[in-house]
Amino acid sequence: MFGPTKIGTVKPPRKEKPTKDEKEAELEAAVEVAKDIVPKNKTKGRSKPSKKMKKKQEIIANAKRPFLEQQMKGDEQMARKK
């Protein structure tokens, strides 16, 4: 009937989910930090402008990845609920 471990315990408070605005602000902050990273000057063709631009875009994409993965998980959970 009643579990002896449950008597006298308190329910843990619910975790507040971050709002859409907070998520976007975190994403913007991560992208700004990624843009401020100054790459080192490499040798033998690695410092070409096209390779520098590609590397900068990779860094920005890597900064966005955790937020996008989290968003995809949320979308999957919403699809499962339906």
Residue 35 has pLDDT above 80, yes or no: yes
pTM for the predicted model, two decimal places: 0.61
Residue 3 has pLDDT above 80, yes or no: no
* Long-range contacts formed by 36-42: CB under 8 A, 24+ apart: none
Nearest to 71 by CA among 29, 79, 13: 79
Distance (Å, whole) CA 31 – CA 63: 6
Query: Structural domain boundaries of the chain?
Result: 47-82
pLDDT of residue 69: 87
Angle at 14 between CA 64 and CA 1, to 5 degrees: 135
Report the pLDDT averaged over residues 32-59. Answer: 84
